Amino acid sequence: MRTKSILSLLMKKLDSVNHSDINLYHLSTSLKSMQDRIDVIKALKSPTSENNCLKIPIKSTQKELVINIPKMFEAISFEHIMSDEEKKIENNRQKQEERKLIKIDMPIEDHKYLHQKLEDFKVTFTKDKSIENHSMLKIMKLIGEFAKTKNEEITQNAQSSRLEQYNKDDDKYIDIIRDTLQKEEMNYTYCTQAVLCKLRIPPDVFAKSEQEVISNPSLQFDLLNSEMPEIDETPIPALLTRDTTIEIVKKANNIAFAKFRELNEKVQKIYPNLTHVIVSCLSHDFILDAYGYNEAEFKAAMYKYNVFDDADLAAFMQTKQMELLAI
């Protein structure tokens, strides 16, 4: 009867496991042995003990050892011991998972960069083996920051190359923009693979988790923040004040949109997806050509001064976007 009473207390535990995996004879024997040990403890208990609480006096002291019986039963769990065949199946599964992982050769400086960034980085997973949303946002932000560091040299060289063809050879100018984008996309792919390699995340798990984050409306604000750049430490020329920056943005966009009208037919036939990128390049290349401020310097000023918070500039840019759609 005593064993039966303990068994009733474990019903909740039993409900959570596969009953076919439990040997009832061994379970009953174990519970009987446990009950005998509890009887010994009860024999030592203090008279002040309660039904669910054992108190055992500690000799030569004024203290008692307190044992909470329900919590003791909660600590009991059932562990499945795998057979040789099951171990073989599990080993094969682990080998298959291992083959899914990305293996990539990285320069030593990239190893050091990621080691520093990932030193205390922990990835949490959901029950369906997707990456938990906030872990995923951190991974996406890390990939973006890594790609930005890898693209800095490409961006600087690209503007120098574009400026050589600016207002001279439109075909070569557009080709440089296309080639630069391809290099940046390749860099982003490399950075993604490098991070997944370091974190030992299979690409299919990453792709599934990324789609879940992108399609989750409640995470859009967090997703936007994860894509925001870190504080840009590029030095800003002293003459580039907020008012001057806003003034140059307007003038540069007027020039860029006028130039794009000339290029539009060619762009739509060959590279229709480059429209906004080409307008942005035309704008920054005009600024470098006319004022001497390179793309990194001018973007740093725009970011520092939050120029698009200016109502007049925001209205101006909205009008320009409508013009672009009408071309």
Query: Same domain, yes or no, for 57 and 131?
Result: no
Q: Is 278 exposed, middle or buried (0-12, 13-18, 19+ CB in 10 A)?
A: buried
Q: pTM for the complete prediction? A: 0.62
64-101 pLDDT, tens digit per residue, is 878 787 777 777 776 777 788 887 777 777 667 667 67
Q: Do 122 and 222 share a domain, yes or no? A: yes
Q: Are residues 116 and 164 in the same domain?
A: yes
The pLDDT value recorded for residue 310 is 93
Asked if residue 240 and residue 133 are part of one domain, the reply reads no
Report the pLDDT value the prediction gives residue 80, as an integer from 0 to 100.
74
180 CB neighbour count, 10 Å cutoff: 20
- Which pLDDT does position 171 carry in this prediction? 92
Q: How many domains does the chain have?
A: 3
Q: Are residues 66 and 145 in the same domain?
A: no
Domain end position, chosen among 56, 74, 92: 74
- Pick out the chain residues at pLDDT < 50: 1-2
Residue 21 has a pLDDT of 61
Residue 16 lies in a domain: yes
Euclidean distance between CA atoms 18 and 298, whole angstroms: 65
Structure tokens at 101: 């992982």
Please check whether residues 13 and 122 belong to one and the same domain. Answer: no
Please give the residue range of the domain that contains residue 46: 2-74
Q: Assess whether 226 and 256 both reside in one domain.
A: no
Residue 104 in any domain: the answer is no
Q: Which of 169, 198, 230 is the last residue before a domain boundary?
A: 230
- With beta carbons less than 8 A apart as the criterion, state whether 76 and 10 touch: yes
User: What pLDDT, on a 0 to 100 scale, did the predictor assign at position 116?
Assistant: 93
In a shared domain, residues 122 and 203 = yes
- Over residues 99-150, the pLDDT tens digits come to 767 788 889 999 999 999 998 899 999 988 899 998 999 999 999 999 989 9
Residue 66 domain flag: yes
58 in the same domain as 139 = no
C-alpha–C-alpha distance, residues 149 and 230, integer Å: 11
